[in-house]
Amino acid sequence: MDILEILLTAGFWAATLRIATPLIFGTLGELICERAGVLNLGIEGIMTMGAMSGWMWVYMGGDLVTGVLFAAFVGALFGLLHSIFAVHLGLSQHVTGIGITMLASSLSYFVFRMLLPNATTPPKIDAFDILPVPILSEIPVLGVALFMQTPMTYAAFAVVLIVWYGLYRTPLGLAVRMVGENPLAAEAQGINVLGLRTGAVMAGSALMSVGGAFLTMSAFDAFFFGMINGRGWICVALVIFASWRPGKALFGALLFAGIDAWQVRVQQLPGVTIPYQFFLMAPYVLSILAMIVVSRKALYPKALLVPFRRGERT
């Protein structure tokens, strides 16, 4: 097989969609937060928390769908915590975000060890099965690639549509974008800036958490330590790459996942002598490159990182 022939296999495209799923959830989650003017660096920890809590819900006897909802709920709680610090108290969004990541990931590990003190090999759950879409999945190659996925992957694509519609076609979305661009003007319109930012951060964090849950409930069936492995940070880079637009975010996530799926397959080709670590570096190097590429035209939401205090001029 050739380096380029890989691109023609159904397995490659199926893997791309699978790898893209947590990135789509995470990137959209971060995008919603930033569109409302709040950087959420809690993402890495919130994804860890989602991975742990959704998995644990199922392991303790819950079913998969409520497990995902539970992960979303826990993620929203951490979003609330982040917004208390970053929105209501107006603390540095950088530092509180890092603090939230530290807290959420260490709490995930603590809770996991508390509930399963003696687990040496990671215990498993019955994860989401592949759900073939009737008729469509029978299309050769394309069907296997696009329509033989787990329900969470389909959900990710639906969420892109919902977020796009919500942000650009509803009054609520307009208000969210407004508090991220010009909170003072938004307040003059009678919009509750702090409330809306809190809501956006909670909703975004819920999505991030679901992205984490995908890893333990759909891609794998167990929870490992350090399993998020920088995916959250890649999502933060993807939001910039996507210039804060949901459609471009989907494209970015798919592009990254595609390159990731491709490098795994290139590694296994005969005659490839590049050490595997350099392949594993690809997503991180690409993220940095992506940020450099778009840097000249990056249009940050104007009020990103700027805390809003009522009655205070900036």
Query: Where along the sequence are the contacts to other proteins (CB under 8 A)?
Result: 41, 85, 88-92, 94-96, 98-100, 102-103, 105-107, 109-110, 113-114, 117, 229-230, 233-234, 236-237, 240, 275, 277-278, 280-281, 284-285, 287-288, 291-292, 295-296, 298, 309-311
Q: Which is nearer to other proteins, 245 or 309 (CB)?
A: 309
In angstroms, how far apart are the furthest CA atoms of the chain? 66
Let me know if 166 is exposed, middle or buried by CB neighbors in 10 A (0-12, 13-18, 19+).
Answer: middle
Please identify, using beta-carbon distances, which residue of 222 and 280 lies nearer to other proteins. 280
- Residue 136 vs 274, nearer CB to other proteins: 274
CA–CA separation, 192 and 187 (whole Å): 6
220: number of Cβ within 10 Å? 17
Minimum distance, C-beta of residue 67 to other proteins, in the bound complex (Å): 22
Question: Is the Cβ of residue 127 or residue 236 nearer to other proteins in the bound state?
Answer: 236
Which H or E run includes 149? strand 148-149
DSSP helix/strand/coil, 148: strand
Q: Which residues of 155-165 are buried (b: 16+ CB within 10 A; e: fewer)?
A: bbbebbeebbe
Compute the least distance from the CB of residue 17 to other proteins, in Å.
23
- Bridge partners, 148 (sequence order): 132
Neighbours of 259 (CB within 10 A): 15
Nearest approach in angstroms of CB 112 to other proteins is 8
Closest contact distance (angstroms) between CB of 106 and other proteins is 3
Least distance from other proteins to the Cβ atom of residue 111, Å: 9
Closer Cβ to other proteins, 131 or 294, answer by number: 294
